Structure 1
Amino acid sequence: MRKQMISILTALALFVGGYASLAGIGGTSTVEAAQAVSSFKDVPASHWASSAIYSAVEKGYFKGYADGTFKPGLPVTKAEMASILARLNDQPELPTAEPNHFTDVPEWAKNGVSTAIAKGFIHPSSYKDKLGAQAALERGEMAEWLTQGLSVVDSDYGQALSDVTNTVIPAKEYFTGKLADSQKNAVAVALGTGLMSVANDKTFGVNRTTTRAEVAVLLSRYASVAKTKPADLQGLNELRQVGLTGTNLGVIAPRYQKPGPEKFSESYDYSKITGDFSKIRNQELVTVTNYADLKIKNWIVVNPYVEGNARSIYYDIFVEEKNKPLRGAYYSFSEFDISIKKSMTQLQGGSLINSPTINTLTSPSTSAFRDYGAKHINDFLGPKGVFTVRNPSYWGSGLLHFDKELRPGIFITVKDGTIYRVIPN
């Protein structure tokens, strides 16, 4: 009987080490945590997540296994992650939380799941009766949980989740149409805050599982982002502005503004002038030539002269380090919807808008642009540069100039008479 009891206790210890104590049940002192991490057989000091794992163990979010390992590559289940999130002491709770109606949560995780709901990470209304508690948590759902948690910390993060509905998301799945609408907003905010990033293959990996090591890193990032005001995150600001207006111009090139009435003659109808790109986004434009009807879906501006966090969140998609435009220009990338009336060549398409900035002639030439899966003009061209489809949608590449000798102003007219006019002030 005694041997049987010891066997049961040993099995329970393994279970607690791998599951229940993922949420910190039982507690761990700082000294014990340091000793545990330093002795993990599979977490050498050179491990990419060693410091995050140390921190997570120190805070009681994780424990190791009885065999002296941490198992950093082991996937984390939804029940485990909910229990971990429940242990975030700095996370506020909602005034009124949704009821926990899940029927598939194991007994050891019920309190953790209920607390994660109370803290806003999990919205039961987004599920039916089952959480899928024992299934491995995928990155798309992880993005949802973490960004929902941020919206409880600061309501402006919740507003950001709404603002990015129509944004351009710097992940391959967005450009290839493989990012579900239900997860677009969360993925955008996760990327914009720096909580999560794309892999080397440029994918966000919404269906990839999340490992224990990755969760340790995410917890550290979450704590940092939760202490940061959304307005202080340039990448998030870009995604929000593109979502709301169609361009990140105001973030990357704020000198470009609508000119005042003094720039026009008294006879000019200044009421037609707007500096709000949303007023011309997805509207039929007046074109120089009559080969096709044209709309601009999005306009992305990239400053190639800055480093680190000052870089546009779209930098890696469109720009290569070795290339710098002449005379201090910024890069300009526009996404076009074109409706060809009869037939049109590439050169004829390039004549639709007479602007070095909003340029329909060429697409970005970087290898990264192709890796992200964004649409290139060459995808729609056949022999002799003739468009093979009547309704191509692709990204054009131009330059945003500040030098007055190089036509720095942007002048676009909508068929309803609205004029988008901005200049560098």
Structure 2
Amino acid sequence: MKKMILTGVAALALLTGGVIGSGSIGGSVEAAQATLKFKDVPSTHWAAAAINSAVEQGFFQGYADGTFKPGSPVTKAEMASILGRLTDQPNAAIQEANNFTDVPEWAKSGVSAAIAKGFISPANYNGKLDAKASLTRGEMATWLAQGLSVVDSDYKQALSDVTNTVIPAKEYFTGKLAGSQKNAVAVALGTGLMSVANDKNFGTDRTTTRAEVAVLIARYASVAKTKPSDFKGLSELRQVGLTGTNLSIIAPKYKKTPERKISPNVDYSEVTDDFSKVRNKNIITDTNYADLKIKNWIIVNTFAKGAERSIYYPVFVDEGFTLLRGAYYSFAELELNVKSKTMTSLQAGSLLNSATINPMNSPRSDAFTLYGGPSINDVTKSRGVFTVNNPVYWSRGLLHFDKELISDVSLVAKEGPTYSVIATD
């Protein structure tokens, strides 16, 4: 193993703990340092390997009392210094000046380097970084996503594509995810760079700990070397953002319905398999109890395992549950304009004669409850009567592949386009 000679400043930092603020990254310390064990980081700690690796590379140091303090927060200045020293990160095409007035002297070069590499954009701040404040997970996601957009222009495109997507985090479903951080959180989740906590919140306002940063350093290096298109989750998020559905990724056998299978009353020149053409449009309904729009349509294959699973699987489906006869779940986010004060959930179900998009039922999984997704029960009272005129909630249906069952999905927008797809061989 190659040895790295520590300067007096670096050696002092190793004793006092914290983040090394100068020097190059990429080499290793001596073998004894590489296998450094901290008394507060047992081998069973979830981030033990990442912490030891981060210390080995010189990103972090332990404290004089033999601890690492994995749960301690990291300041913005500290994180900027770490990001500024990622040697594989290219410089941004457009260089912004470091005009922050509150950065301590020891961190100025590190912050400038992080800006040069595209992680931090001073234009998003009002002259002050609040450098000594603890870095939140939301801001961390923003910095890392901006860094990825410098590495590969397709990551920059992905940041744009997910603007209108459905994000698998509780804050999204409860309306508490800030618009300024939404896109970055989507990219962080879609690449596996970051994840939700046990309570299903991304935790945008939670501070970023030393242990988390140690893990993120390694993850970022891995993600930066991977093409955005290689992340299935990110591809889903982009597809939903652009079209309103992940159908083509999860159920690619569903194609545009052939003309011979379309009702003769439908002008086939108006038929499309582009869901964006009917997304958020008024759909022609079978009954007149309410106007109906479909905001998003999510498909989940309950039989998929591991990396083949939809990124939305944990949101809608409980672990271990599978459907019968090879069907997939169909979850549609609906917006209704109720025309009657006594409209019931049963009448809502009569709006569309479809087993795939059924306004009468909502997801019943424990997972969906944990994520805080709005269901029909949130907008109805006893006997299923709607309590609001413009409810928005998620419905539950089935996407069939069995030839003995009707598999086509057809939606006709009042504005004209007909969306129609069917399972193919």
> How far apart in 1 are the matches of 2:218 and 2:246?
29
| Structure 2 gap segments, 5+ residues each | 1-7
SS in 2 for 1:42: coil
| Residue of structure 1 equivalent to 2:360 | 361
Q: Show the 5 A alignment for 1:153-164.
A: 153-164=151-162
The answer to whether the 8 Å contact 1:248/1:299 transfers is yes
Q: Show the 5 A alignment for 1:46-195.
A: 46-195=44-193
SS in 1 for 2:160: helix
Alpha carbons of 1:265 and 1:200: their partners in 2 closer, same or farther (altered >3 Å)? closer
Shift of 1:282: 0.4
| Residue of structure 1 equivalent to 2:399 | 400
Shift of 1:291: 0.4
Q: Show the 5 A alignment for 1:190-269.
A: 190-261=188-259, 263=261, 269=267
> How far apart in 2 are the matches of 1:143 and 1:27?
22
Name the aligned partner's letter for residue 100 of structure 1.
N
Name the aligned partner's letter for residue 52 of structure 1.
A
Shift of 1:28: 9.4
Shift of 1:321: 2.8
> How far apart in 2 are the matches of 1:61 and 1:47?
19
> How far apart in 2 are the matches of 1:15 and 1:35?
10
Shift of 1:14: 5.7
Shift of 1:55: 1.4
Alpha carbons of 1:147 and 1:76: their partners in 2 closer, same or farther (altered >3 Å)? same
| Structure 1 gap segments, 5+ residues each | 1-8
Q: Show the 5 A alignment for 1:15-26.
A: 17-21=16-20, 23=21, 25=23
> How far apart in 1 are the matches of 2:317 and 2:182?
24
Q: CA-to-partner distance for each residue in 1:176-223, whole Å, 9 max, x for gaps?
A: 110110000000110000000000000000010011110000111111
SS in 2 for 1:328: coil
Name the aligned partner's letter for residue 369 of structure 2.
R
Q: CA-to-partner distance for each residue in 1:341-400, whole Å, 9 max, x for gaps?
A: 113111000110110001111100011111111101011111221111111110000000
Shift of 1:270: 1.7
| Residue of structure 2 equivalent to 1:4 | none
Name the aligned partner's letter for residue 48 of structure 2.
S
The answer to whether the 8 Å contact 2:15/2:62 transfers is no
The TM-score normalised by the length of structure 2 is 0.93
Q: Give the count of matched residue pairs.
A: 415
Pair 1:318-2:316 in alignment: yes
Shift of 1:265: 8.3
| Residue of structure 2 equivalent to 1:423 | 422
> How far apart in 2 are the matches of 1:261 and 1:48?
56
Pick aligned residue for 2:38 from 37, 40, 49: 40
> How far apart in 2 are the matches of 1:36 and 1:304?
43
> How far apart in 1 are the matches of 2:372 and 2:83?
34
Greater percentage in helix = 1
The answer to whether the 8 Å contact 1:77/1:134 transfers is yes
Pair 1:377-2:368 in alignment: no
Which moves more between the two structures, 40-49 or 184-193? 40-49
RMSD over equivalenced CA pairs, Å: 2.0
SS in 2 for 1:39: coil
Name the aligned partner's letter for residue 356 of structure 1.
A
| Residue of structure 2 equivalent to 1:388 | 387
